[in-house]
Amino acid sequence: MPRPARNYQAAVYGHVARVARAVASPRRLELLELLAQRPRTVEALARLAELSVASASQHLQVLRAARLVEAERHGTFVEYRLAGTEVEEALVALRQLAERREREIGELTRDFLERRGVLEAIDSEELLQRVRAGAVTVLDVRPAEEYAAGHLPGAISVPLAELEARLRELPRRRPVVAYCRGPYCMMSAEAVATLRRRGFTAHRLDHGVVEWRARGERVETAPGAPPP
């Protein structure tokens, strides 16, 4: 191969490798998943990911250098967001690839859910049919600000921490479907366990807003919410 062509190829793969190195960290993947829900400050990300602010900032700088996230200053705070919908799509694709190649992921998930008695999940096609028919109550158990930034059509915001106090708001004659941040987020599993203890028919949706959007489905936002 002529040397100019080899140099070109090496340069291109070098840039691809930089992006790959940026996501080659469990912590950075978690930060990207959190940013896929809504833009956040480094302080908020550090709290949610249980990191020090300094550590979260270092991870974000790596992601920013790879052009996977963008930052915008608001007064004394810097807010981070994903650098485009293709980053969100790549997250879903990477997770799906890992699930196909690493059977341990499925084993870990099944073990965690079996211990909570909520192994079965409803796929999005079945849920969509039930929602359209008004046959289920859909609960978004993420924090309210994430619901405002984007939620499944017809979903009701009941953050997990408020669920016990708001059970009277839920009709008992219809099954309840709970979702949160995606297949590895277990807030929905905890919500389903609580609902079943209280006598509800409840199921977990293993898709979140990110997976819903990746399928080309419509996502609703609350009035005045910032774009996701």
pLDDT value of residue 110:
74
* H helical segments located in 78-208: 85-101, 103-114, 124-132, 144-149, 187-197
Q: What are the domain boundaries of the chain?
A: 3-86, 110-214
Single-letter amino acid code for the residue at 148: A
Q: Report the CATH architecture of 110-214.
A: 3-Layer(aba) Sandwich (3.40)
The class of domain 3-86 in CATH terms is: mainly alpha
Mean pLDDT split into 10-residue runs, the chain, 228 residues = 79 91 95 96 96 97 96 91 94 90 81 67 71 85 96 94 95 92 90 94 90 88 62
pLDDT value of residue 26:
94
Catalytic residue among 42, 155, 180, 187: 180
Gap between the Cα atoms of 197 and 188, Å rounded: 14
pTM of the predicted protein model: 0.85
Gap between the Cα atoms of 140 and 156, Å rounded: 6
Return the structure tokens found at 5: 């062509």
Question: Is 185 among the residues known to form the active site?
Answer: no
Gap between the Cα atoms of 83 and 117, Å rounded: 38
